[in-house]
Amino acid sequence: MIIQPAKQIDQAAILKLEQTIFDDMALEIYEELSVADVQAAWTLAVATSEKSRYHYSRAIVAKNDDNEVVGVLFGYPDTEEKILDSMLQAILADKYSYHRWLFSDSEVFDNEWYLDSIVVTDTARGQGIGKQLIKAAEIRAKQESRETIGLNVDDGNPRAQKLYETLGFESVGKIMIGKHAYTHMQKKV
């Protein structure tokens, strides 16, 4: 298993893998647009602006021996959150007449490197890939001059919260994202 910063060639694979999380989130946009339309909007947004939330430059990937992406982690400093979806929102409005914010709630706490999402393919789960991606994120946070890494875990997923606790994360607050309650956790790096 290779853990490394994502490259441009990985962009399509990481957006496809990220769809797993979008499906779990039950985003309202899917009441109006198809998965294919939203994926096309993400693809155009990341091709247009590296300031997009799911641009490969914000990702760390896990690749198997066949050089296939089997896991991805996205993250960024808290100060960048407000600008990350501007291009996507413009594309959704212009091309699809969708004028609501896809992610309207702030997810970050001040002064942290925020771990936005982490997902591993079904076939690669249980191999410690998530832990390796988080360790790589800690290194990246330090490289970006952050002393704290933060994340949100769905209150309906105590197994994930337990995993983060074993990795040294501590609960620091509660947050609502959309219609879901989350525990915000942080770790000093």
pLDDT, residue 92, reads 94
Structure tokens at 92: 């959704």
pLDDT, residue 41, reads 94
| Beta pairing, strands 113-120 & 148-154 | parallel
Q: What residues make up the domain containing 143?
A: 2-188
The pLDDT-based confidence of 60 (bands split at 50, 70, 90) is very high
pLDDT digits (tens, 9 = 90+) for 90-129: 999 999 999 988 888 889 999 999 999 999 998 888 888 9
| Residue 28 confidence (pLDDT) above 90 | no
CA distance 56 to 37: 20
pLDDT digits (tens, 9 = 90+) for 146-181: 999 999 998 988 888 998 999 999 999 999 887 788
Least confident of 18-32, 52-66, 124-138, 174-188: 18-32
Rounded to a whole number of angstroms, the distance between the first and last alpha carbons of the chain is: 24
Contact 137, 115 (CB under 8 A): yes
Contacts of 35 (CB under 8 A, 6+ apart): 19, 22, 23
Q: Which residues share a beta bridge with 183?
A: 153, 174
pLDDT, residue 89, reads 93
pLDDT, residue 62, reads 97
**Residue 27 backbone dihedrals phi, psi, to 5 degrees:** -65, 140
Least confident of 6-10, 24-28, 149-153, 158-162: 24-28
pLDDT, residue 173, reads 95
CA distance 92 to 107: 21
Rounded average pLDDT over 1-24:
92
State the total domains in the chain.
1
CATH number at residue 126: 3.40.630.30
Average pLDDT, the chain: 92
Structure tokens at 98: 């969708």
